[in-house]
Structure 1
């Protein structure tokens, strides 16, 4: 239709088109991955926030604020009432 007027895409045009398409879909994929991960984690929940009470009890036990029986009793209560987490 255009004849030989120079309206064809060059080799570098194809390279740029391919690279920009890969980058575009990569960004879309990363955004989708981040959104799914944030939703599956739930509000205000992280692995660190689940382990925090046990860490505090261990620190109190190490400082001598809790005796052996009290520490074991409190850890057992925490573990019995801990929410179930996905993937262990």
Structure 2
């Protein structure tokens, strides 16, 4: 029987379509990675806690907030909370 598409049948069209989608996805991902590299932005720089500015008040405020969250969740009791809060405030003076 004579095939008009070079003998590949439907399988050839399917694999060519998949290959084309994968090829263009890789090209687009490469362009995005290149732009991020050239501009100096990455996923790791945008997520996570903000960089420390060197202000001791900001760092101690974050520690106090974490302590208050633990107290609110019931992980520590009132006595433990006040003891640790006093210790934090004495340490960051």
TM-score (norm 1): 0.48
**With CA pairs under 8 Å and 6+ residues apart, which has the higher RCO, 1 or 2?**
2
